[in-house]
Structure 1
Amino acid sequence: MPDARLPADPGQPTVPTGELLETGRRNALLKAGALQNAILTSANFSIIATDEKGIIQLFNVGAEHMLGYRAEEVINRCSPSDLHDPAEVTARALALSTELDTSIAPGFEALAFKASRGIEDIYELTYINKNGSRFPAIISITALRDDYGDVIGYLLIGTDNSVRKRVELQLNDAVAAAEKANLAKTDFISSMSHELRTPLNAILGFAQLVESGTPAPTPTQKRSIDQILKAGWYLLELINEILDLALIESGKLSLSEEPVSLMEVLLECRAMVEPQAAQRSIGMVFPRLQVPHYVKADRTRLKQVLINLLFNAIKYNQLGGHVTVECTTPTPGKVRISVRDTGAGLAPEQVSQLFQPFNRLGQESGKEEGTGIGLVVTQRLVHLMGGEIGANSQLGVGSEFWIEMNQATAPGLPLLQRAEPPRAEPGHDTAYRTVLYVEDNPANLELVEQIIARRSNLRLLGAADARLGIEFARVYRPAVILMDINLPGINGIEAMKILRADPVTARIPIIALSANAVPRDVHRGLEAGFCNYITKPIKVSQLMDALDAALADAAATHGQDLAEDIP
């Protein structure tokens, strides 16, 4: 029977089918041989094949170069786990046992466990060279099966991971160095904040005393005092904002996220900003929320954000203008708070530069003071609370700043009204009450002495260090103790703990009066047991409010002690 022949193009000789098939098989074999040869001679990858028991049957050139063994030294003699760090093999077995809730023996069983179940496994391990040196590798292991699906061996393909590990270590070192530098910067700024606050406390404190003293200052003196106070409070604002920015950038700013009532926060903000708006004849329009809105935020920081936006809207508004606050829900799960003003507005290129540090958008020479940091801090606080911030503006019309926060479910219990701290108004027949101030800075001591001297029912007792302060507290038993934190020898927190441990002084209210104004310092002080924490520079009204509340508590405690002494 003649050979079957394939149709051919005109002018081309006819090729027998058998010859074509033979040529195809020969080419396939050549290709398979080339592939096998490439696998066996690859110097970049270690390729190891084992039988079903995990004994090495194939050890290519790459494995020889990588591990230092000749193929005949390991074939039919070793398992791949013999070439690995034994501690890692044991750890892998334990991890798999925990993950799969079954017992897995260390050794090759641990390496091949997943592969035997049809799962290609890729993992990192440490190879041990014949000369004892170690290096990291990435290994892929696959089960080899026969035509019936039974496992007949395993294929391990590995590559040296030293370069990537070295780059990772360098990157980790660089990150650690950057974090260390960032921490050093934050600590430096915190320390500088303390050092700046101490002299600023004297400047602002005595200026407040002169301003409100008797006899009243002359008009010329009053203008000078106003300039001192204005510059001092501006410097304090700058210190606070730089400190906030440093804490945010270092990741050390702690937030307490909770459902926050927008109605409550806006009422508090309104009470704070309306007096300033009234001075400039600026009308304030706040929303009347028919439905209570709660957002997920840190209450204190949300209030800081809104007050900053409101103060800016007042500061850069026109005389007799107005500020409008609105609350909307643009998308499900979001609440938008918008603050619109009727100021001069901003050009598009100015809007694009709004959140750059120290960029006041050409207002440096204007009559309004500012640090150029407030909006940057505001933006980062909003982002830390999971929100968004933006702005729209039009020259000659005004600007709108908005924040969007995640909506929260109202808390289960109704919010209690926050009561104002009780104030103890001194009467004409009130006996002297002693206030002990533990402070090593003479200027600070004199400042508080002059503040206390304005109350006819109070007298101040000063102590220059904690040891003397503790002795004075035990002997004189003051109604209230004011305690600096950074004292020579025993610091203020340690002194407070000693006083709390002594039955004689345990119930005396102690107020921290410190230039350590970082939020974590304030939180640490309150947690340690201070009944209040006043930061320097001192605001006279704030200090007197805290003293009045502490004196009221001390009077109540004294009355309770007398009742307990009656048989």
Structure 2
Amino acid sequence: MSPISSLSVLDAIARADGIEVKRQEALLKTGALQTAILTSENFSIIATDEKGIIQLFNVGAERMLGYMAAEVVNKINPSDIHDPQEVMARAQALSLELATPITPGFEALAFKASRGIEDIYELTYICKDGSRFPAIVSITALRDDFGTVIGYLLIGTDNSVRKQVEIALNEAMAVAEKANLAKSDFLSSMSHELRTPLSAILGFAQLIESGTPQPTPSQKRSVDQILQAGWYLLDLINEILDLALIESGKLSLSLEPVLLAEVMRECETMIESQADKRGISVAFPEFGSPRFVSADRTRLKQVLINLLSNAIKYNTEHGKVTVTCVDTPSGHIRICVKDTGEGLTEEKIDQLFQPFNRLGQQANTEQGTGIGLVMTKRLVELMGGVIGVESMVGKGSMFWIEMNITTEQKLPADPLNLAHGFQTQVPADPHARTLLYVEDNPANLMLVEDLIARRPDLRLLSARDGLSGIAIAKASLPDFILMDINLPGISGITAMKILSEDPLTKHIPVVALSANAMPRDIEKGLEAGFFRYLTKPIKINEFMETLDLVLKLAKAKADPVPIKEAIL
């Protein structure tokens, strides 16, 4: 053999020896890993044969369950150390899921694994001493080289800590929910308590303002100050309550396709007077084709009115407000409200959406709560939109909102829309109609008495509690009823339901007049069956228009004229 051949053989032997060494090292390492796994105390490893009898019970299983391996190997199956009711429930759930009868026991635990699906489930382990703890168990089928199931491997971990955290979290959520409910009830109650005295202040101030003889110039200035401060306080109450509802997640929105042109026309009508007083011109867009956005109609209008009011209030004298609508590349529509005011610095823009921050306008003659823009932002976001602002000092500001466009069209407006009934006054009736007012607050009763005194077509009856109101209604059969909600004895809602269930009085329309003015209070009242729900403080025009509407309905019942014609 040549020297070269001898070296080649030696190299081959050396390489073979090296490979063998590495293989041995790999086997040792694998063995060490397997030993580490099997002797780990952090999780249980249980292996069974194909019948479910335990063949392997590692150190972790011994530590967790309190059994020694010799006590369970070849003697029991894993279902014997699980909560039997949970095993039964699992078998029933699998039976329903797969439409196949599943026998409770190990078969229920191993069913999915036997079909090649690794299964992970939560069950309660029962220890040797009878104690229990929640566990997460993973079960896998073990197969031979021919694919035949020869056993099952169950790896379990103690789930006690996570369960304790879940329980603590659920308890905390329950406490928070209870606190939210208490907060909501407190806000509703506080709203009522604040509105009740404010109702008297604003109501009588309006009576003085519009009474005969007319107030003197000095009295008129005083009344104007009372009304201005009163309505401002009412706005503040409303906005604080609205903001609290949003923050607590209690504000409900009804998203639907809203026709932008209609909302714009309504907003134009509502801000026209405010703009005229300041000499501000307001330009609204023209729509070539119907454009619908997904929004809550009332809240969208609230958002736009707030932006328009701010654009008018903080504009220059005889300035301009321009409203535009443009499509965005992302498939939204951007509604922009641009003014010619003083504009905002970057610092002020950063502070815009902070509650009660009026950006130094406190000394301004224009009143404001500092909550409007915060409310606007929250409402826009709740409707799935975004809000932004662009401004330049000395040039003006542009606030914009982007809303989701929808192609779905609204159903045609109901031809019986009762709003049309507010447009004309009912002629004086020679035979006065009867109104029953159920109210326990003397100031509120006096205010309504003074209002009804201006109506020769009405005569007023009154009751101080719900039971008396029911008795008077059955005895006198008034044409309609005004009902307070918070009454001594029984509530106004209960009284209304009693009247609606009596054949003698069920035809009488009942109008709620209450200081419970939270949105959920109004919804609850209308769902209960009130014909209308008016809130205190009384707005005299709205109150009189509601009386007109109910009078029309009462007249329609007496005359052979279709109700539809009477209303329209």
| TM-score of the aligned structures, taking structure 1 as reference length | 0.94
| Matched residue, 2:538 | 538
Distance 2:179 2:323 in 1: 41
| Matched residue, 1:517 | 517
| Matched residue, 1:211 | 209
8 Å contact 2:426–2:548 — kept in the other structure?
no
Give the aligned residue type for 1:271: T
Distance 1:102 1:156 in 2: 24
SS at match of 1:364: helix
| Structure 1 residue 276, shift from structure 2 partner | 0.6
Aligned length: 558
Residues 315-330 of structure 1 correspond to what in structure 2 (within 5 A)?
A: 315-330=313-328
**Deviations along 1:70-128, whole A, 9 cap, x unmatched?**
10111111111211112222222233333334333222222222222222222222111
| Matched residue, 2:123 | 125
8 Å contact 2:275–2:312 — kept in the other structure?
yes
Instruction: Identify which of 36, 39, 44 aligns with 1:38.
Output: 36
- Are the structure 2 counterparts of residues 561 and 392 from structure 1 closer, same or farther at C-alpha, using a change threshold of 3 Å? closer
Give the aligned residue type for 1:84: H
Instruction: Identify which of 59, 62, 72 aligns with 2:60.
Output: 62
Distance 1:398 1:79 in 2: 79
Q: Once structures 1 and 2 are overlaid, which stretch shifts more, 330-339 or 201-210?
A: 330-339
8 Å contact 1:325–1:339 — kept in the other structure?
yes
Give the aligned residue type for 1:362: G
Give the aligned residue type for 2:444: N
| Structure 1 residue 462, shift from structure 2 partner | 1.4
Distance 1:412 1:474 in 2: 43
Question: 2:225 matched to 1:230?
Answer: no
8 Å contact 1:287–1:326 — kept in the other structure?
yes
- Are the structure 2 counterparts of residues 5 and 166 from structure 1 closer, same or farther at C-alpha, using a change threshold of 3 Å? farther
- Are the structure 2 counterparts of residues 33 and 93 from structure 1 closer, same or farther at C-alpha, using a change threshold of 3 Å? same
| Structure 1 residue 7, shift from structure 2 partner | 7.5
- Are the structure 2 counterparts of residues 328 and 347 from structure 1 closer, same or farther at C-alpha, using a change threshold of 3 Å? same
Instruction: Identify which of 234, 245, 261 aligns with 1:263.
Output: 261
Give the aligned residue type for 2:326: T
What are the ranges of 5 or more consecutive residues in structure 2 without an aligned counterpart? 564-568
Q: Once structures 1 and 2 are overlaid, which stretch shifts more, 404-413 or 505-514?
A: 404-413
Residues 272-421 of structure 1 correspond to what in structure 2 (within 5 A)?
A: 272-411=270-409, 413-416=411-414, 418=417, 419-421=419-421
Identity %: 66
Instruction: Identify which of 188, 191, 200 aligns with 1:190.
Output: 188
Give the aligned residue type for 1:352: D
| Matched residue, 2:566 | none
8 Å contact 1:5–1:16 — kept in the other structure?
no
8 Å contact 1:335–1:405 — kept in the other structure?
yes
| Structure 1 residue 416, shift from structure 2 partner | 4.9
Distance 2:18 2:454 in 1: 115
- Are the structure 2 counterparts of residues 289 and 426 from structure 1 closer, same or farther at C-alpha, using a change threshold of 3 Å? closer
**Deviations along 1:442-486, whole A, 9 cap, x unmatched?**
000000000111112222111111111112112222222110011
8 Å contact 1:424–1:549 — kept in the other structure?
no
SS at match of 1:420: helix
**Deviations along 1:201-225, whole A, 9 cap, x unmatched?**
0000000000111111111111111
Distance 2:251 2:209 in 1: 36
SS at match of 1:109: helix
| Matched residue, 2:453 | 453
Question: 2:477 matched to 1:477?
Answer: yes
Distance 1:524 1:6 in 2: 97
Which stretches of structure 1, 4 residues or longer, exceed 4 Å deviation after superposition? Answer: 1-8, 416-419, 426-429, 560-563
Give the aligned residue type for 2:511: I
**Deviations along 1:28-75, whole A, 9 cap, x unmatched?**
332232122212210101011111121111000000000111101111
Give the aligned residue type for 2:46: I
Instruction: Identify which of 164, 167, 175 aligns with 1:166.
Output: 164
Distance 1:435 1:82 in 2: 76
Q: Once structures 1 and 2 are overlaid, which stretch shifts more, 420-429 or 274-283?
A: 420-429
Distance 1:57 1:362 in 2: 79
| Matched residue, 2:497 | 497
- Are the structure 2 counterparts of residues 488 and 560 from structure 1 closer, same or farther at C-alpha, using a change threshold of 3 Å? farther
| Matched residue, 1:20 | 18
| Structure 1 residue 255, shift from structure 2 partner | 1.5
8 Å contact 2:311–2:339 — kept in the other structure?
yes
8 Å contact 2:203–2:540 — kept in the other structure?
yes
- Are the structure 2 counterparts of residues 134 and 101 from structure 1 closer, same or farther at C-alpha, using a change threshold of 3 Å? same
Distance 1:444 1:434 in 2: 18
SS at match of 1:230: helix
8 Å contact 2:389–2:398 — kept in the other structure?
yes
Question: 2:555 matched to 1:555?
Answer: yes
8 Å contact 1:269–1:303 — kept in the other structure?
yes
8 Å contact 1:432–1:459 — kept in the other structure?
yes
| Structure 1 residue 332, shift from structure 2 partner | 4.7
**Deviations along 1:197-252, whole A, 9 cap, x unmatched?**
00000000000000111111111111111111011001100111111112112222
Distance 1:523 1:435 in 2: 24
Give the aligned residue type for 2:338: R
Q: Once structures 1 and 2 are overlaid, which stretch shifts more, 171-180 or 489-498?
A: 171-180
Q: Once structures 1 and 2 are overlaid, which stretch shifts more, 297-306 or 410-419?
A: 410-419
| Matched residue, 1:109 | 107
SS at match of 1:42: coil
8 Å contact 1:257–1:298 — kept in the other structure?
yes
Question: 2:109 matched to 1:93?
Answer: no
| Structure 1 residue 553, shift from structure 2 partner | 0.5
SS at match of 1:455: coil
| Structure 1 residue 559, shift from structure 2 partner | 2.9
Distance 1:338 1:52 in 2: 72
Distance 1:287 1:202 in 2: 41
| TM-score of the aligned structures, taking structure 2 as reference length | 0.94
Distance 1:74 1:429 in 2: 96
| Structure 1 residue 561, shift from structure 2 partner | 11
Q: Once structures 1 and 2 are overlaid, which stretch shifts more, 327-336 or 283-292?
A: 327-336
Distance 1:412 1:189 in 2: 34
Distance 2:463 2:476 in 1: 12
| Matched residue, 1:11 | none
| Matched residue, 1:434 | 434
8 Å contact 2:322–2:337 — kept in the other structure?
yes
Give the aligned residue type for 1:461: L
Q: Once structures 1 and 2 are overlaid, which stretch shifts more, 200-209 or 253-262?
A: 253-262
Q: Once structures 1 and 2 are overlaid, which stretch shifts more, 498-507 or 314-323?
A: 498-507
| Matched residue, 2:138 | 140
8 Å contact 1:424–1:551 — kept in the other structure?
no
What are the ranges of 5 or more consecutive residues in structure 1 without an aligned counterpart? 9-13
8 Å contact 1:507–1:557 — kept in the other structure?
no
8 Å contact 2:294–2:383 — kept in the other structure?
yes
Distance 1:125 1:542 in 2: 63
Distance 1:409 1:186 in 2: 37
| Structure 1 residue 317, shift from structure 2 partner | 1.0
Distance 2:129 2:6 in 1: 63
